[in-house]
Amino acid sequence: MRTEIRLSGRGGQGLILAGIVLAEACGVYEDKQVVQTQSYGPEARGGASRAEVIISDGQIRYPQAYDPDILVALSQPAFDRFAPKIKKSGLIFADSFYVHTDRKDVVLMPFSETARNEIGREVVTNVVMLGALSAVTDIVKLESLKKALKHRVRSAFLDLNLRAVDAGYKLGKEIWKKRSS
Amino acid sequence: MASAKASGKKHSFTPMVHTYLRMDNRFPHVWCPGCGIGILFAALIHALHELNIPKDKILLASGIGCTSRMPGYLDTDTFHVLHGRALAAATGVKLARPDMEVIVVGGDGDMLAIGGNHFIHAARRNIGITCIVLNNYNYAMTGGQQSPTTPRDMFATTAPYGTIDDPADACSLAEASGAAFVARTTTYNFVQLKRFVKTALSRKGFRLIEVVAQCPTIFGRLNRMPATKDLITWIKGHTVTLEAAKKMDADELRDKIVTGVFVDREVEEYSDRYARLIKKVRNAH
Amino acid sequence: MRRLVSGNEACAEAALRAGIRFFGGYPITPSTEIAELMAEELPRVGGVFMQMEDEIASIMAIVGASAAGVPSMTATSGPGFSLMQEGIGYAAMTEIPVVVVDVMRGGPATGLPTKGSQGDLQQARWGTHGDHPVVVFAPRGVEETFALTLRAVDVSERLRVPVILLTDEFIGHMREIVSFPSRVEVYHRQRPRVASSEYVHYAEENNYNAPYASYGGGYAIHLTGLTHRADGFPINDAPTIRWNNERLRAKIEDNLAYLEDNYIDDDPDADTLIVAVGSSARSAYEAKLLTDKPLAYIRLLTLWPFPDATIHRLARGRKRVVVPEMNDGQLCREVQRCLSGDTELVSVTRNDGSMLTPQEVLEVL
């Protein structure tokens, strides 16, 4: 089984780090095969940025997403560009603050607002998003994400990131519950 | 040389010089009669000898050109690198073997045109290299094209109507880039030349000596000074000491060769700095 | 131990493990991470990282450090690789071992700094003037980048040749799960055992594992980019020029069996052979698995010297040879030389900064 995840948004939103943490959580701490790639422009901040993670039980040859099973969009341009290009059965998660859409199938979540209001730092939006993904999909366990964060995030910022991933997980559960009821 | 050897004079310097040369298979050399490079070569060998620098610790590197043929004749480790690239390659050698005495020789074209970028950055880093630029005002090996140091209104095969470029000043460039030692002399003044080479070899960091030298066969012929004597007289006539230059204005100095030591400062040599960095990094872990 | 590692990280880690102790480089996307890692790690193992003033200085600094006995490497991408060519020729002529990593990006000129390509396959072989020996390895992913970096250092040190590792932006920035070996064997170049007066720097013998002197070793060696005699001094007579050229050629040709390295998945029923290299081989192999048709497949881990005989043997009697690649057909030209009879050659190319997909290969199968 091959699952393709595309994380998209602006440069500076930490999407590549999110891709690395997700890939490491699945690949190192859950023994799956993963490949993580990214695409970016010349800008260090702003511009378009995306990271892709392919998760599979078997060897992964073609390393990029054909049509993703899961799309995360943290900016309007990224949403407009990538939302039409997902699998029929695919899921789209978009940031409710930065993305506006009438599409009812899109799951809007306040990733950036949760980061700002609950954690006090918008910079951890990417990690809130990972926590929420873990709550609403079966691609990765919360514990694996935490292990990967411990490895990838500098110790001074670890506590902040662990709180963010928990907040995201809680957010995901709540929204999913509302959506299913 | 052969007659000096035959005379067997005990203190004749020729036998000493011979011990520094690859006598068995490298001669005759490529240089023209009257060329100034031999004077620099002799000064360098004397300086190495008088400072008693072990031969197996010496690396002589060069780029491409007449001056850059010097390494082929010196019986030490020698490195005849690409055109302009001697300083970059010598930087690698010095960092790999900081215990070696690394000397780079080259012409004005090699060092200041194609190798200009490496020249600036070697001086900036103060890598432990003694760099000797033999300035004969032209690309001699390729037949007398204009170089970055060809004075205004002089002739070269690529400046058949006289040069309109202003010449580069190797010493100012080295000084501005941060070199530890900067001096200029001429082949007319062998005693000063040898003294400057000895001083440079005794300092640390990047050391530049510019040696203005005659090229009678090519540059001299193109500029109506075909005899060695003419060109040396011209060089002598245009030379002023640093002290004398201080009393002259820019107009008077325009076509002058100012000789003397421009910079002599203490610096920490780059490979010493790197060794300190390694120590710091290793102690932290 | 399972780890998530990028191609560029794998390259730097392997270089350190293989004994590289000098790195001269200049920042250029998409290879810069290699330089950054070497800057951090080399001082920890007593080595030296130098950020040089340009790529020309970088290649010459590693040539200098290697001539002084220290295994040396640089990493760059297309524009920098172009600037290094004269220096690579110098290393070939003077027989100084160096490893040059080219993380390929789209070209020509500044081209596509952040997007991959396989546009330097031919430049890696013919980039410098004159006929010269060169060995080029091309990994398809992260684990192989580690293995082939080790091999690049090993072959370079043993044969006294410049070795080029051709990866690309896709591989350099891709992260995969790997577990590197805990121990690697490292070859240490052998110093001469004879007296200085007896020593000949370019002795007339197969270069493989031959001892050679470095600067500071007491052998008063002379290295020059000029055509030279066995003792290293320049010469202009025809027989010696032939001897010099022959020696450089022989060091590759006498060691073909040692240098050749392919992954072959043959099928006697197949009437089509796929020839692939590097990252695009991932899509080629995926395409092979997606079809029921029998297909023969060869992937070159050693791109140069080119495995002429092996491809000739595999292609003989087949109807078609398919060559997928991410340039305008550089590998295809080379494969063409190896074909005989009426075998049809099909070139599948993509050259727009995106990765060739398995579907694009599948279309011609």
Angle (deg, nearest 10), helices A155-180 and A125-136? 40
Interface of B with C in 97-136 (CB under 8 A): 97, 99-100, 117-118, 120-121
Q: A62 and C175: CB-CB below 8 Å? A: no
Which pLDDT score is estimated for B4?
43
Residues of chain A with Cβ-Cβ distance to C176 below 8 Å are 27, 34-36, 60, 63
CATH for C262-364 is 3.40.50.920
Indicate the DSSP class of residue C224. E
CATH number at residue A109: 3.40.920.10
Helix (H) or strand (E) holding B170: helix B170-177
Q: Mean pLDDT check: name the lowest of A35-49, C282-296, C351-365.
A: A35-49
The domain of A102 spans 2-180
| Mean pLDDT for the stretch of residues A6-22 | 95
Q: Name which of C22, C60, C74 to mutate to probe chain B: the one with the most chain B Cβ atoms within 10 A of its Cβ.
A: C60
Q: B118 and C57: CB-CB below 8 Å? A: yes
Q: C170 and A40: CB-CB below 8 Å? A: no
Q: Name which of C4, C8, C176 to mutate to probe chain A: the one with the most chain A Cβ atoms within 10 A of its Cβ.
A: C4
Residues of chain A with Cβ-Cβ distance to C279 below 8 Å are 63
- In sequence order, what are the beta bridge partners of A91? A70
- In sequence order, what are the beta bridge partners of A54? A4, A35
Whether B25 and chain C come into contact, CB under 8 Å, resolves to: yes
Residues of C with CB under 8 A from a CB of A: 2-4, 113-115, 141, 170, 173-177, 279, 282-283, 285-286, 289, 355, 357-358
| Mean pLDDT for the stretch of residues A67-75 | 97
Q: Among all chains, which residue has been given the structure tokens 């004597």?
A: B229
The CA distance from A42 to the nearest CA of chain C, in Å, is: 7
The Cβ-side half-sphere exposure at A33, using a 13 Å CA radius, reads 11
- In sequence order, what are the beta bridge partners of A55? A3, A34
Residues of chain A with Cβ-Cβ distance to C175 below 8 Å are 20, 23, 34-37
pLDDT digit string, tens, across residues C102-155: 999 999 999 999 999 999 999 999 999 999 989 999 999 999 999 999 999 999
Neighbours of B63 (CB within 10 A): 28
| Mean pLDDT for the stretch of residues C141-170 | 97
CA C193 to chain CA centroid, Å, is: 31
C-beta separation of C170 from C115 below 8 A: no
* Contact yes or no, A with B (3+ CB pairs under 8 Å): no
Interface of C with B in 197-256 (CB under 8 A): 215-226, 231, 233-234
Domain spans in chain C, listed from the N-terminal domain onward: 1-259, 262-364
Question: Is residue C204's pLDDT more than 90?
Answer: no
- For chain B, the first-to-last Cα distance in angstroms comes to 60
Chains that touch B (3 or more CB pairs under 8 A): C
Q: Name which of C132, C224, C227 to mutate to probe chain B: the one with the most chain B Cβ atoms within 10 A of its Cβ.
A: C224
| Tens of each residue's pLDDT in chain B, 285 residues | 344 444 444 556 688 999 999 998 889 999 999 999 999 999 999 999 999 999 999 999 999 999 999 999 999 999 999 999 999 999 999 999 999 999 999 999 999 999 999 999 999 999 999 999 999 999 999 999 999 999 999 999 999 999 999 999 999 999 999 999 999 999 999 999 999 999 999 999 999 999 999 999 999 999 999 999 999 999 999 999 999 999 999 999 999 999 999 999 999 999 999 999 999 999 987
pLDDT band at A104 (very low <50, low <70, confident <90, very high): very high
Mean pLDDT for chain A overall: 95
Whether B278 and chain C come into contact, CB under 8 Å, resolves to: yes
CA distance C323 to C333: 10
Q: How big is chain B, counted in residues? A: 285
Q: A33 and C177: CB-CB below 8 Å? A: yes
Which pLDDT score is estimated for B249?
96
Q: B77 and C52: CB-CB below 8 Å? A: no
Question: Is residue A84's pLDDT more than 60?
Answer: yes
Indicate the DSSP class of residue C44. G
Bridge-based pairing state of the strands A2-11 and A46-56: antiparallel
pLDDT band at C76 (very low <50, low <70, confident <90, very high): very high
Task: Judge whether C1-259 and C262-364 match in fold.
Answer: yes
Whether C52 and chain B come into contact, CB under 8 Å, resolves to: yes
Q: C233 and B81: CB-CB below 8 Å? A: no
CA distance B88 to C65: 10
Cα R_g (chain A), whole angstroms = 15
CA distance A64 to C116: 13
Chains that touch A (3 or more CB pairs under 8 A): C
B139 phi, psi to nearest 5 deg: -85, 100
Interface of A with C in 39-98 (CB under 8 A): 39-42, 60-64, 66
List b or e across C125-158, with b for residues whose CB sees 16 or more CB atoms inside 10 angstroms. Answer: bebbeeebbbbbbbbbbbbbbbbbbbbbbbbbbb
C-beta separation of C79 from C102 below 8 A: no
Tokens representing C48 are: 């030296």
% of chain C surpassing 70 pLDDT: 99
Which pLDDT score is estimated for A48?
80
Q: How big is chain A, counted in residues? A: 181
- For chain C, the first-to-last Cα distance in angstroms comes to 39
**pTM of the predicted structure, to 2 decimals:** 0.96
List the domains of chain B with CATH numbers: 31-284 (3.40.50.970)
Q: Mean pLDDT check: name the lowest of B2-6, B164-168, C249-253, C343-347.
A: B2-6
Nearest chain A residue (CA) to C355: A64
From the list C44, C64, C216, the residue facing B91 with the nearest CB is C64
% of chain A surpassing 70 pLDDT: 98
Tokens representing A101 are: 């859409």
Question: Is residue A10's pLDDT more than 90?
Answer: yes
Which pLDDT score is estimated for B8?
47
CATH for C1-259 is 3.40.50.970
Q: C222 and B285: CB-CB below 8 Å? A: no
Nearest chain C residue (CA) to B72: C222
Q: What are the C-alpha distances in Å from C354 to residues A52, B194, C170, C330?
A: 14, 62, 9, 17
Q: Name which of B79, B125, B206 to mutate to probe chain C: the one with the most chain C Cβ atoms within 10 A of its Cβ.
A: B79
Which pLDDT score is estimated for B220?
97
CA distance C32 to C41: 14
A173 phi, psi to nearest 5 deg: -60, -45
Which pLDDT score is estimated for A44?
67
B20 phi, psi to nearest 5 deg: -95, 0
